[in-house]
């Protein structure tokens, strides 16, 4: 076949393939045996409730309710596991047949605070996406700075200069990854560097730039000399603060300009700085508000058909990521249904065995992929490619196939000044008043996890979404390196998601007849995190208390009813270990995950549950807590050594310590009683399951005891926490549980 012909043949080929994971029927069979076991447990609980006046009646009923809640949640997690699907793009076919027709792509990078999110980190993300393997005249990068900081603007200017060297450097030597920080912090062998002179010169230019940015930040102000370099600095008069400033839009690199060339004389992508207007006492709707301002401003300046949105700490680790994602959108058969392509959240600072369980392998490779299988991949707020149309509120319709906007903006005759002035209007805070923005258009307002709701509304307008988890991770962010920050994040997420469940967006109601029932259930795996705290708390509090007082809550070991309990427990856990190992985790990481699951459920989810109820009663307002992306040096060191970081006496830590101590003390109490009291020893056959539950909780909590009793470093638990936990446990032991 001549080249001409092969091109023609390829034009009709699909651009992606969907593979279903094997073993669906096996899994369904297995699920039904577990479900049978669960039914037996319910039956046993119902038929063996201690009579009125008997010991432990209320505790028994509580156990039954907790187990019902666990079972219900378990049922929610099943359908996604029956439909795990992998999406495989064919980017070479795209290259051969569609190169001329590639659409414009706008990349949004959002930052909110120059202290928590250092500008040097932000520009690494920017540089990594500027260096994408994509026609630069079709690529526009927007930095949304909700901190309204001239330091961030300065860093962006520096990045725009450095990109002239960095992009050709990446192209010439096929550098990967294209975040300079990530690239230069790799280990290099001298002989592997193709051109040492150029390598060293580029590295030096990068380090110098970093130093200049750091110097400005250390100084706390920008010198007159720097200010004279760009008229953009004039925007920062003394009235500009983070919460209160006029809209600032600066086109830092104009891709239409013949003079915007890199050092090799090749066109640069367009680069835009945006700080939307903020006014005191005017709702700015957090990140959703920033995204919507970006959508409007970008429609004026570049109007790319595809939008990629990224958090400022997520650099691009695969230069072909745009092309891969485009395969899904451009495919002639199925592409027109797809609204967005979500990548999982991956991190570049995950340590061995992942003590904070930041990389949930099974969630990424099974649950989310299963939701994707139902065409309902979650929108997670970062690492997501969108079709501009669907994000702006249009309904899916079978008739209107997208005509891609492949024209570049070369023909646009408006001056930079005109574009900036027009953009400022779109980025002003009053612009949205009386419009559908935040309701039907753009990201949905009024919820702390606006991404999930937005994704749901898009699917309910008839679109499908793709979950794409490539072997080589496309975006890498920074995972929290302290327990504190992990728990705060989970509290924020679980609270926001529980609010969705209670709002008009509850998937069972809002998604009824619009998305599949299995997808509705899949959404609820996450939306119901917060109430899951209640049965978990019950299971770590009541069995130890009853153990101390000799009240049995489980069947005797010799009773046939013991079997379903053991079967459900073992099959659940063995299944979960196998699943984790198959997804590339380790046994130790799985164990760490079990600990984190317990800690999250008993602290983050519980506080989220309480706060949601308080808010429902109208007693308090939504707040948004930003978490730091960088950790102090000794903290990072302990993180690398897989040592849990506590170091304060926050209420969450006190709760963790109290629950751990409760189980330890009751286990010790049970041991003493077994030796001292003959009656207690006789009961042991009925109490042994409770001993097992407590022992498991104690084992999971080993790092907590270490932090309470053994450690001397700054990350240990302070003595006051130990003291408080012992007081609380003593009080709890006084409660009669009968």
Ligand X SMILES: *[C@@H]1O[C@H](CO)[C@@H](O)[C@H](O)[C@H]1NC(C)=O
What residue numbers does the annotated binding site for Mn(2+) cover?
Answer: 287, 311
Among 83, 150, 302, 317, binds ligand X (CB under 6 A): 317
The count of chain residues that interact with ligand X, using the rule CB under 6 A, is: 5
- Active site includes 146? yes
* Residue among 304 and 470 whose Cβ is closer to ligand X: 470
Catalytic one of 254, 262, 320, 451: 451
Burial label for 136, CB within 10 Å (0-12, 13-18, 19+), is buried
* Residue among 315 and 554 whose Cβ is closer to ligand X: 315
CA distances from 485 to 358, 539, 630, 719 (A): 11, 25, 11, 21
Q: Is 442 helix (H, G, I), strand (E, B) or coil?
A: coil
Chain centroid to CA 704: 26
Which of these, 134, 145, 456, 156, lies nearest to 316 by C-alpha position? 134
Site string for ligand X, 446-485 (x = CB under 6 A): --------------------------xx------------
Shortest CB 472 distance to ligand X, Å: 5
Shortest CB 123 distance to ligand X, Å: 19
The C-alpha atoms of residue 736 and residue 738 are separated, in whole angstroms, by 6
The C-alpha atoms of residue 387 and residue 375 are separated, in whole angstroms, by 15
Site string for ligand X, 268-307 (x = CB under 6 A): ----------------------------------------
324 lies in the site for ligand X, by CB under 6 A: no
383 lies in the site for ligand X, by CB under 6 A: no
Which of these, 356, 351, 353, 383, lies nearest to 368 by C-alpha position? 383
CA distances from 623 to 51, 379, 437, 495, 517 (A): 47, 21, 21, 11, 32
Dihedral pair phi/psi, residue 14, rounded to 5°:
-65, 150
124 lies in the site for ligand X, by CB under 6 A: no
Cβ neighbours of residue 569 under 8 Å, at least 6 residues apart? Answer: none
496 lies in the site for ligand X, by CB under 6 A: no
CA distances from 152 to 36, 444, 518, 611 (A): 58, 27, 44, 34
Among 10, 176, 300, 683, binds ligand X (CB under 6 A): 176
| DSSP for residue 309 | E
CB closest to ligand X, residue no: 176
Shortest CB 126 distance to ligand X, Å: 18
List binders of ligand X among 125-144 (CB under 6 A): none
Shortest CB 316 distance to ligand X, Å: 9
* Residue among 317 and 394 whose Cβ is closer to ligand X: 317
181 lies in the site for ligand X, by CB under 6 A: no
Cβ neighbours of residue 259 under 8 Å, at least 6 residues apart? Answer: none
- Active site includes 257? no
Binding annotation: 117, 146, 287, 311
| DSSP for residue 445 | P
Catalytic one of 106, 145, 146, 331: 146
- How many other C-beta atoms can be found within 10 angstroms of the C-beta atom of residue 229? 12
Maximum CA pair distance of the chain? 94
* Residue among 176 and 685 whose Cβ is closer to ligand X: 176
Cβ neighbours of residue 455 under 8 Å, at least 6 residues apart? Answer: 340, 342, 377, 378, 379, 465
CB 707 within 8 A of CB 716: yes
Shortest CB 179 distance to ligand X, Å: 10
* Residue among 42 and 184 whose Cβ is closer to ligand X: 184
Shortest CB 354 distance to ligand X, Å: 13
H helices within 603-645, ranges in order?
A: 604-616, 633-640
Strand partners, 308: 107, 385
Among 62, 177, 511, 522, binds ligand X (CB under 6 A): 177
Shortest CB 263 distance to ligand X, Å: 23
Shortest CB 384 distance to ligand X, Å: 18
* Residue among 317 and 690 whose Cβ is closer to ligand X: 317
Count the residues in the chain.
738
Q: Is 239 helix (H, G, I), strand (E, B) or coil?
A: coil
Binding annotation for UDP-alpha-D-glucose: 117, 146
The C-alpha atoms of residue 709 and residue 711 are separated, in whole angstroms, by 6
Residues annotated catalytic, as ranges: 146, 451
Q: Which residues bind ligand X (CB under 6 A)?
A: 176-177, 317, 472-473
């Amino acid at each position: 076949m001549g080249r001409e012909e092969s091109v023609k043949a390829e034009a009709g080929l699909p651009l992606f393939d969907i593979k279903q994971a094997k073993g669906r029927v096996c899994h369904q069979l297995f699920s039904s045996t577990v479900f049978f076991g669960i039914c037996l447990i319910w039956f046993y609980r119902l038929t063996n409730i201690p009579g009125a006046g008997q010991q432990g009646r209320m505790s028994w009923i509580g156990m039954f309710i907790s187990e019902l809640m666990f079972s219900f949640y378990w049922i929610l997690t099943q359908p996604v596991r029956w439909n795990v699907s992998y999406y495989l793009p064919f980017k070479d076919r795209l290259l051969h047949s569609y190169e001329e027709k590639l659409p414009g792509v706008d990349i949004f990078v959002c930052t909110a605070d120059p202290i928590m999110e250092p500008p040097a980190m932000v520009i690494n993300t920017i540089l990594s996406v500027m260096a994408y393997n994509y026609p630069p005249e079709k690529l526009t990068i927007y930095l949304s700075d909700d901190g309204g900081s001239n330091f961030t603007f300065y860093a962006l200017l520096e990045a725009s200069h450095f990109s002239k060297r960095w992009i050709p450097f990446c192209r010439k030597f096929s550098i990967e990854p294209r975040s300079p920080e990530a690239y230069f912090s790799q280990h290099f062998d001298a002989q592997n560097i193709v051109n040492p002179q150029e390598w060293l010169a580029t590295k030096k230019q990068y380090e110098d730039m970093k130093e200049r940015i750091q110097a400005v930040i250390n100084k706390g102000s920008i010198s007159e000399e720097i200010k004279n370099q760009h008229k953009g600095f004039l925007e920062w008069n003394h009235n500009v603060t983070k919460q209160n400033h006029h809209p600032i839009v600066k086109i830092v690199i104009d891709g239409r300009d013949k003079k915007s060339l890199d050092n090799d004389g090749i066109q640069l992508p367009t680069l835009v700085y945006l700080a939307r207007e903020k006014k005191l006492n005017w709702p700015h709707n957090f990140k959703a508000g920033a995204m919507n301002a970006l959508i409007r401003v970008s429609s004026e300046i570049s109007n790319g058909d595809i939008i990629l949105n990224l958090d400022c700490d997520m650099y691009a680790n695969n230069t072909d990521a745009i092309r891969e994602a485009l395969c899904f959108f451009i495919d002639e058969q199925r592409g027109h249904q797809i609204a967005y392509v979500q990548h999982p959240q991956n991190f570049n600072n995950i340590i061995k065995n992942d003590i904070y369980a930041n990389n949930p392998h099974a969630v990424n490779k099974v649950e989310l992929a299963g939701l994707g299988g139902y065409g309902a991949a979650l929108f997670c707020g970062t690492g997501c490619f969108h079709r501009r149309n669907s994000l702006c509120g249009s309904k899916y319709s079978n008739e209107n196939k997208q005509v891609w906007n492949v024209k570049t903006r070369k023909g646009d005759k408006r001056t930079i000044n005109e574009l900036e002035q027009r953009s400022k209007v779109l980025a002003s805070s009053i612009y949205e008043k009386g419009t559908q923005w935040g309701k039907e258009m753009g990201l949905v307002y009024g919820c702390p996890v606006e991404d999930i709701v937005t994704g749901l509304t898009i699917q309910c307008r008839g679109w499908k979404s793709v979950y794409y988890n490539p072997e080589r991770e496309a975006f890498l962010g920074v995972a929290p390196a302290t327990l504190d920050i992990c728990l705060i994040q989970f509290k924020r997420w679980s609270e926001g998601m529980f609010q969705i469940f209670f709002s008009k967006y509850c998937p069972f109601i809002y998604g009824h007849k619009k998305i599949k029932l299995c997808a509705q259930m899949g959404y609820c795996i996450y939306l119901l995190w917060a109430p899951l705290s209640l049965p978990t708390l019950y299971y770590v509090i009541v069995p130890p208390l009853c153990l101390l007082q000799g009240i049995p809550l489980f069947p005797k070991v010799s009773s046939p009813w013991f079997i379903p309990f053991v079967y459900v427990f073992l099959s659940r856990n063995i299944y979960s270990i196998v699943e984790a190992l198959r997804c590339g985790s380790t046994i130790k990481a799985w164990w760490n995950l079990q600990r984190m699951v317990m800690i999250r459920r008993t602290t983050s989810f519980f506080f989220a549950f309480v706060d949601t109820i308080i808010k429902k009663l109208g007693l308090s307002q939504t707040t948004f807590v930003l978490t730091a992306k960088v950790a102090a040096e000794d903290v990072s060191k302990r993180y690398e050594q897989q040592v849990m970081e506590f170091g304060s006496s926050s209420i969450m830590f006190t709760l963790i310590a109290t629950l751990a101590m409760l189980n330890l003390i009751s286990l010790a109490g049970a041991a003493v009683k077994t030796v001292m009291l003959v009656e207690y020893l006789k009961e042991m056959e009925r109490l042994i399951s409770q001993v097992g539950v407590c022992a498991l909780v104690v084992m999971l909590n080993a790092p907590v005891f270490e932090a309470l009793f053994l450690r001397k470093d700054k990350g240990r638990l302070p003595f006051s926490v130990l003291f408080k936990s012992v007081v609380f446990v003593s009080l709890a032991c006084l409660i009669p549980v009968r």
